[in-house]
Amino acid sequence: MSDPRDPVGRLGLGAANVGNLYRALSDDEAQAVLQAAWDGGVRTFDTAPHYGLGLSEERLGRFLRTKPRDDFVLSTKVGRLLRPDPSWTGGDDDAHDFVVPARQHRVWDTSPAGLRRSLEESLERMGLDRVDVVYLHDPERYDLDRTLDEGLTGLAALREAGLVAEVGVASMDTAALAASARTGVLDRLMVAGRWTLLDRSAAADVLPACREHGVRVVAAAVFNSGLLATERPSGTDLFDYRAPSGDELARARRLAEVCHAHGVPLPVAALRFPLQEPLVSTVVAGAAAPEQARANAAAMAAEIPAALWDDLS
């Protein structure tokens, strides 16, 4: 897929923003973000039905249908089905931070039949005939024990049927990630926000479990929702979708000082840090504007002094 010696080739685009996360993008603005990422060398794209109640998948599919299918790697997620909400009387999907009309709602279904139905509906929204990777999305938010029983069985069935090449779990919860890796069923884990400069909690249980069972890691949410996305972190930046605590802000500012001393902007170090772990195959980052997509690609190509990682540790 990507050359491990090529950092730019190990950058993926997370498509939550093109599903109107936090703010609305027009169709043209969303396409401009995707095109900027493509022009910057990105060939790995990740989406989910959850992102904008299907809007992210629709927009990403419209863009990728213009590209040769074998030139990119595409992943989506399963576990939540989108169904019309009969109680909707207007308003956006504010509860999940997406600026889209909440005409649909999410219905959990981690049964093997439900996972297959979810994949089929995602392909229909995207207008594509296949994805490369399917992740079970946030299993701990539903029923972790049940999901590990029936959900991973369903994932394995999708892979065995040749409907996807690889399967995994995507989560911010280290207990769910470690338990999923230990089953030995998965090819990948998408570790969201738990293997970053500021939050390295995946090192305790998740990474050892992946190492033991041969599971590759995709590092996502590497800016922890924004606190590591600027050179000078502030209290107005988000940490894991909320305001940072005083301690979290202080540690982010200390990281920024160390990076500055080495002539490396904090966001550049934040993008590149996960790749210091050999298990990490890809770093997935979002972008809400073309200039952010271009900045992410440039960051992956930047020279990083080896001494920086020593000082940051």
Active site (catalytic) residues: 51
Residues 220 and 189 sit within 8 Å (Cβ to Cβ):
no
Residues 274 and 280 sit within 8 Å (Cβ to Cβ):
yes
Please state at what angle helix 55-64 crosses helix 112-126, rounded to 10 degrees.
50
Taking the C-alpha atoms of residue 217 and residue 299, their distance in angstroms, rounded to an integer, is: 20
Please state at what angle helix 290-301 crosses helix 27-39, rounded to 10 degrees.
20
What are the C-alpha distances in Å from 253 to residues 177, 223, 258, 266?
28, 13, 9, 9
Among the listed residues 190, 27, 1, the one whose alpha carbon sits nearest the alpha carbon of residue 100? 27
